[in-house]
A and B are shown apart, each in its own frame.
Chain A
Amino acid sequence: MIMAHSSFLDVSGAEKSFGAVTVLGGVDLRVAQGEFVSLLGPSGCGKTTLLRAVAGLLGLDRGTVKLDGEDITAKPPHRRDVGVVFQNYALFPHLTVAENVAFGLKARRRAAAETREAVTQFLELVHLSALADRSVRALSGGQQQRVAVARALAVRPKLLLLDEPFSALDRKLRETMQIDLRRLLRELGTTSVFVTHDQDEALTMSDRIAVMNRGAIEQFDAPEAIYRRPATAFALEFVGLSTMLAGTVTAQDGTTVAVDTAFGPLRAHGNFVPGAKVLLAVRPERIKVEPAGDFAFAARLRDAVFQGSKVQLHFEAAEGDRLMVETADLPHGVPAPGTELKLGWAVADTLIYPAPAS
């Protein structure tokens, strides 16, 4: 595991408002050297603003940005040593592929031989050597993205920022390119911050994910931890699917609370006073259908969606609730809608949050 304590990039107290709208409300973000961190959140959550502030393309109202121990808050972008892959790639349309990659090296007045060598090396790394003398306008979306990556990396920046670099690509291409890019960045040891609204992308690529909502980071943790133990109801909703049941706490017993729901009483680990409105959640693959031992309750199947390696079962639930199960283990085949099935799960798998204010 990466040492999360030594911070290579250190953003603290970042605040930014546009007029009356607060886009960043005092964000702290610490990224270790060589780490790949995703900023994940819906549009308008402030992730792109944070990225632009780190790149120096946007000034912060308050807060500091430190990179490699140096305060770069007041530095203009061209003196920060922070590379960016833009969402639309922002390739220079009047230059060829090789000239685009060489741009940063020439701007930094590197020796011609060094520039040539770096261009050759990075075009090879992104498998574009054959297209070096092509105009970038003649390239496909995937090729353009690779030029943008090679151009940003060729100057060996201390930090690479990626602003939704896969959003313009089709799904299949996106998946292979995610893996390729992740491998390349790992080989080069480049510290990277990646902005996305796509949870699958974030889960696939990241060492750690910062889940952002309304200008704040709600949870900053490894992908698995975020999926298994979402810190807030927002993180739960945004990352992965889950069953969600509204309820009211009826009793507390040590570390466990009893909650009354539309499907009867359920139990979860948590600390809530009786009478508190809560939201219970269970990840769909944690729920067992027709469990051998204890079960939580029976529910009527509304829909079964066959997805190849697994089946998704949707059950009838009260308004505002959602009850769904993903399972690969259905010994009697896919049940018909309308069947009543017993569902069960471990108390430890029950996530509990204060009910979101509606």
Chain B
Amino acid sequence: MKALRDPVVLLAAPAVLYLTLLYALPLGWLLAKSFSGPAGLTLQPYTEFFGDPFNWRVIGNTLGSALWVTVVCLAIGYPAGFALARAGTAMQIAMLVAIILPLSVGVVVKAFAWQIVLRRDGVVSQFLVALGIWDEPQRLLFTEAGLVLGAANIFLPFMILPIYSVVKLIDPRLSEAGATLGATPSYRFVRITFPLTLPGVVSGVAFVFSMSVSMYVIPSLLIGDRFQTLSTLTGRSFLFMRNEQLGSTTAVILLALAIAVVVASSWLARRLGSTE
């Protein structure tokens, strides 16, 4: 009874209760469901799933699109995080507002907007034709490039913000110290600045990858049914096929893959970031 009076227990209780009831229990149910057959415990749903080449395509689609979205977000978000951290106060506020405000617009709304942008007569197509890169208008909607473009836009803030926050903490004198020791600007970036931003890169990558590996609405609206991912397949199994076994199996595989990739990438980054 004494433990109940411990403030830590009391403070954590609502969160524990909430997460147990609404997250841990359903997840447990999902896990149990995927491993149970008519004759008790079984691995059959998994052997069946991995036996079908179509499902391998689905896994490839899922990981591939998530990887591309993450790469695009990193390529744009890394320099943007620097620009944000090194900008003047007024500029910084303006940029932060520009990054954070779009988060208040729902994903569905944004995905619909991208449908219009990516059409054959959409802005992107017109722009590329005007630049002379494309000879004639083309449709990006319902292509993988269109999916990556739209998803990267939606998840970009989750890459920029963690990188921004670590860059802001780097003492500019470290780079100056490197310079007085004879290090060229590029050597300083590789050996000082970049390793110190790795924690931000790791959290940005973990955010964006785990969000884009499990995205459901965006692929549904930007690429459609011909491109199945683990999460759209999970959705279809529950909603249209009423196949709870398949749905829980794909959900568990998705979860395992996402965790594996995020853990592996942060481990890799920590190794790269530590001394050579």
Binding site for B on A (CB under 8 A): 55-57, 76-84, 86, 88, 90-96, 99, 103-104, 107-108, 151-152, 155, 157, 161
Contacts and interface: CB of A to CB of B under 8 A. Distances in A.
Looking at chain B's contact residues, the main secondary structure is helix
B180 A82 contact: yes
A155 B177 contact: no
Given A103-B183, A103-B191, A90 B275 contact: no
B173 interface: yes
A95 B275 contact: yes
A217 to B, nearest CB: 23
B38 interface: no
B181 A103 contact: yes
B94 interface: no
B122 interface: no
B48 interface: no
A94 B178 CA distance: 13
A56 B181 CA distance: 12
Given A99-B275, A103-B191, A92 B174 contact: yes
8 contacts: A57-B180, A78-B181, A86-B173, A86-B176, A93-B174, A94-B196, A107-B187, A108-B182
A77 B176 CA distance: 8
Contact of A77 (B179, B274, B275): B179
B192 interface: yes
Contacts of A57: 176, 179-180
Given A78-B183, A108-B182, A92 B192 contact: yes
Contacts of B191: 103, 107
B196 A93 contact: yes
A45 to B, nearest CB: 21
A337 B176 CA distance: 55
Given A90-B176, A93-B196, A95-B275, A152 B181 contact: yes
Contacts of A161: 180
Given A90-B171, A92-B192, A104 B182 contact: yes
Contacts of B196: 93-94
Contact of B181 (A88, A94, A107): A107
A94 B195 contact: yes
A78 B184 contact: yes
A94 B180 contact: no
A90 B177 CA distance: 6
A57 to B, nearest CB: 5
Contacts of A104: 181-183
Contacts of B185: 78
A77 B180 contact: yes
A96 B275 contact: yes
B180 A152 contact: yes
Contacts of A94: 195-196, 273-275
Nearest to B170: A93
Interface string B137-179: 0000000000000000000000000000000000101101111
Contacts of A76: 179
A99 B178 CA distance: 12
Contacts of A82: 180
Contacts of B195: 94
Contacts of B180: 55-57, 77-78, 80, 82-84, 152, 157, 161
A198 to B, nearest CB: 21
Interface string B245-276: 00000000000000000000000000001110
